[in-house]
Amino acid sequence: MTPSLKLFALSALAFASQGSAFCFGPEPARRICYSDPGATPQNITLQEINYVAGYLRFYGSQKGNPQFYTMPLPDADNCAEWQVTTKGSTWVMAKLVGDDAASITFDDLANTIDGGGSKATPEQKAAALIGCNTAGGQMGVVVNATDPRYQQPQFTNGTFTNQGIIIKLVRNPDV
């Protein structure tokens, strides 16, 4: 390896290790169905999608459980993908694409998946991830900004934002 090529490789490695705090190509917040051209359908089930959304809504409503799904820095370094929950073939992932630590209610997480559960209109379901049907998909969390929980100090003082989390419905690799 020539000295200039070696220097380039070392510089690239150093830059990459320092660059883990930001995405080079962050994913958009708009909904992307994995049935779109160029994507790979995930073959998950609508029953499992409904189950995980209901479970997340239930979990967040239980006394003693956290009200928020939180991706703090540096644990959720920008672009980190975390498994949220799974049911059968359906795996819910969260990816931090913003510049700040983010936290969302479990209700907003669930509503992003199913449009609002049994109260959702056909239009709300169509706009949510469940509208991608069995192909799965991804989108930014749809935040209910009027929810009074977002007026708590951790949001008003800038510790957390409710923006910058992408939710993905993908096939469980273990199934």
Structure confidence by residue, pLDDT tens digits, 84-134: 999 999 999 999 998 889 999 999 999 999 999 999 999 999 999 999 999
pLDDT at 79: 79
What mean pLDDT is reported for the chain? 88
Say what the pTM is. Answer: 0.85
CB 140 within 8 A of CB 30: yes
pLDDT of 4 above 60: no
Residue pLDDT, tens place only, 61-85:
999 999 999 999 888 876 779 999 9
CA distance 17 to 142: 32
CB atoms within 10 A of CB 161: 18
Here the contacts of 80-84 (C-beta below 8 Å, separation 24 or greater) are 81/168, 84/56, 84/109, 84/167
User: Distance between CA 9 and CA 143 in Å, rounded?
Assistant: 42
